[in-house]
Amino acid sequence: NAGVMQNPRHLVRRRGQEARLRCSPVKGHSHVYWYRQLPEEGLKFMVYLQKENIIDESGMPKERFSAEFPKEGPSILRIQQVVRGDSAAYFCASSPLRDRANNEQFFGPGTRLTVL
């Protein structure tokens, strides 16, 4: 079974451009989480989505950032008008329907965004 897929793995954007990061969860997983890791720091939660719903966006910056998880297709994290401070690694994780017996949250390989 394929794990969590993220693309692109590396993304370079100039200030003011848009960045679109894609995440395909493990097949059958309906919950997707996005995290951001700034250089030399731990991961910080951004947003939690289920199919067609944003459940918790408490970690999302108020402006320029948006996320979706449509009924069909991957989850998208979109950053408009990128600034240098957006340079980071963005990780997506997925988990199945609630099952306490399965506690692993499956992480993708991350997308490394560099803003020039």
- What is the per-residue binding string for another protein in 35-64, x denoting contact by CB under 8 A? x-----xxxxx--x------xx--x-----
Is 11 a binder of another protein (CB under 8 A)? no
Q: How many residues does the chain have?
A: 116
Residues in contact with another protein, counted by CB under 8 A, come to a total of 26
Is 31 a binder of another protein (CB under 8 A)? yes
Q: Is 114 helix (H, G, I), strand (E, B) or coil?
A: strand
Whichever of 53 and 72 has its CB closer to another protein, that residue is 53
Whether residue 4 contacts residue 28, with contact meaning beta carbons closer than 8 Å, is answered with: no
Alpha carbons 98 and 79: distance in angstroms, whole number: 29
For 30-103, strand residue ranges (E) read 31-37, 43-50, 53-56, 65-68, 75-79, 88-95
Whichever of 53 and 84 has its CB closer to another protein, that residue is 53
Residues that bind another protein (CB under 8 A): 31, 33, 35, 41-45, 48, 55-56, 59, 89, 91, 93, 95, 98, 100, 103-107, 109-110, 112
